[in-house]
Chains A and B, each alone.
Chain A
Amino acid sequence: MIAYIIQRLLQSVLVMAAVGFVAFSLFAYVGDPITIMLGQDYNETERARLAAQLGLDRPFYVQFANFVANAVQGDFGISYRLARPVNAVIRERLPATLELSLIAAFLALAVGVPMGVYTGLKRDSWLSRFFLTVSLIGVSLPTFLIGILLILVFAVILGWLPSFGRGETVQLGWWTTGFFTKSGLKALILPSITLCLFQLTLIMRLVRSEMLEVLRTDYIKFARARGLRDRAVHFRHALRNTLVPVITIAGLQLGAIIAFAIITETVFQWPGMGLLFIQSVSATDIPVMAAYLCLISFVFVVINFVVDLLYYAVDPRLRVDRGAVGGHG
């Protein structure tokens, strides 16, 4: 057990190191921060001063070490575009993205998993066919189009919900939340639906296909041969076995939601990290890009780690006990 955790931790650290390297390379080799910050016209003294200030005249490994040391403390320097410290900017925008993503993730799981189970168990009912058709359309609709359509219907035509922004938010420490205001809640509805739909259909289809696979196994056949009730066969045995591989994918999907938030935030002008990232890509704002990259990687690595732990807890086959495999024929 301990060995498993340590191995996973090591892997996570390696991944973060690699990502950090890529992020740093962005800093070091892509674009010219001097030009971006000072504009086209600058004289040699200004350049030298800025270069020294940014540490650009030091050898590579020194710069990398500085970068890592700073990054671990959350310091990614100054945004080229906004001329503010990157971590302050990110801290402002993080709650918006996290709130949106968590709600979308919750929706995707809470609706997607039951739908998947239902369509797996009752393959031929009309409701299953309906769900499957809807899911096919859902997978074919790009997220941004869903957002636009929802805005068109609910904001432009019906006027029920806002089409952009977060509404009023309440400040709790450094966190801002939209949960406590009516306009904040209303503003959350359309973007979270938009964000969750793609993942919802993916999860539904995944759960369904896993369920169908499991229902074909020998142990399910044997469970039926033992005369167990349908409820026990389906929900005790089949469902549990279905959910084990689903955990991994669901974890990955949750990570994907945070990334897909980029699109939703753009459509709804949601002031989160995704929108920030897009703006920084367009403007070649390297510090923000690098910071976003590192932050997102960190989130993914954490999610993967948690998923691995969950897997271990749920699947007894991974826990190879000492000396328990025994007995002769």
Chain B
Amino acid sequence: MADATEMSARSAGGTAPAALQRAFDSDIFYSFRNSPITMLAAVVTLLGFVGAIFAPWLATQNPFDLRTLNLMDASLPPAWVEGGEAKYLFGTDNQGRDVFSTILYGSRISLLVGVGSVLLALVLGVGLGLLSGYAGGSIDAFIMRVADVQLSFPAILIALLIDGITRAILPREAHDAAAVYVLILSIGASGWVQYARTVRGSTMVEKNKEYVQAARVIGRHPFAIMLRHVLPNVMGPVLVIATIHLAVAIITEATLSFLGVGVPPTQPSLGTLIRIGNNFLFSGEWWITVFPGAALVIMVLAVNLLGDWLRDALNPKLR
């Protein structure tokens, strides 16, 4: 009813301040304001990103720089426990790395890989979806077949495979240096299918509409027209997929690093930290595992909450 006019008005364009005003008035922002959990999740996510981006300024130590590590300070408990030092808030690991700083630097990697792979998957998936939906015929059939087959393999397996192959092809130093990019490639390449399917559906719907035929008659390339009309419609669901995919990507990177086939041990991410800490759980040095673990879970939980809220907010049927 009244909401429909708002939506169409928004997609029709308008001046920036007016658009912003409409955004604030919209149902989406309303449901955001009304859900304290979601707002908390958004704040946490924001903090996570800020912490990761500004890690060099926020951390007390650069754990990747071996020269700043002091082996004498290895395996210290958190500051509030007996034996700990104020300098090392969350304690240190077996190589003297400050856990707090490593969490900051580690989440850098986690977020970099997460966002990078989501972007890759999004671009790949949206592109292939558009192509598949628009071209139809055998191209469509082929792409969808590949998608079906890939969907039946868990992403982590594909990621492992790509990582294994690059590890075998590249010499060790090159692989270590490129590890982050390899991870982005492998996690991204294993996640494009969802995007492609959604976009393909929308594209096929739009393709049959009359304005596309009309555009052909005028001589304007219908593909450009469709981009202009398909993309706004499809951005909502794609955004939902991307948010949830971000959570999955972060977990996947952490898992790969935990398994030892992710980032090299000299550039630990949260997963690597947990792996290191795992070896010391039995001797009671719990902080090396617990704090990075908590940081990981909180981050992923916040992103998942945002994704859940986004999906409910964008689904007109659930209102």
Contact = CB atoms under 8 A, between A and B. Distances in A.
A289 B156 contact: no
Interface in B262-319: 271, 274, 278, 281-282, 286, 289, 293, 296-297, 300-301, 304-305, 308, 317
B119 to A, nearest CB: 21
Size band of the interface chain B makes with A: 35 or more
A132 to B, nearest CB: 9
Given A15-B149, A136-B305, A281-B261, A260 B154 contact: yes
Contacts of B151: 252
Interface stretch (A48-56, A63-71, A102-110, A143-151): A143-151
A96 B83 CA distance: 43
Interface in B94-110: none
A278 B261 contact: yes
B153 interface: yes
B182 interface: no
Among A141, A148, A266, A282, the most chain B Cβ lie within 10 Å of the Cβ of: A148
B305 A281 contact: no
A147 to B, nearest CB: 9
Nearest to A137: B301
A208 to B, nearest CB: 12
Contacts of A300: 152-153
Chain A contact surface mostly: helix
Contacts of B296: 142, 145
Interface residues of A, number: 43
Contacts of B305: 136
A300 B308 CA distance: 30
A142 B259 contact: no
16 contacts: A30-B168, A30-B169, A136-B304, A140-B297, A142-B258, A142-B296, A142-B300, A144-B274, A151-B281, A263-B156, A266-B258, A281-B160, A281-B164, A284-B168, A300-B152, A304-B152
Interface of A: 15, 18, 26, 30-31, 136-137, 139-145, 148-149, 151-152, 156, 216, 252, 255-256, 259-260, 262-263, 266-267, 277-278, 281-282, 284, 286, 289, 293, 296-297, 300-301, 303-304
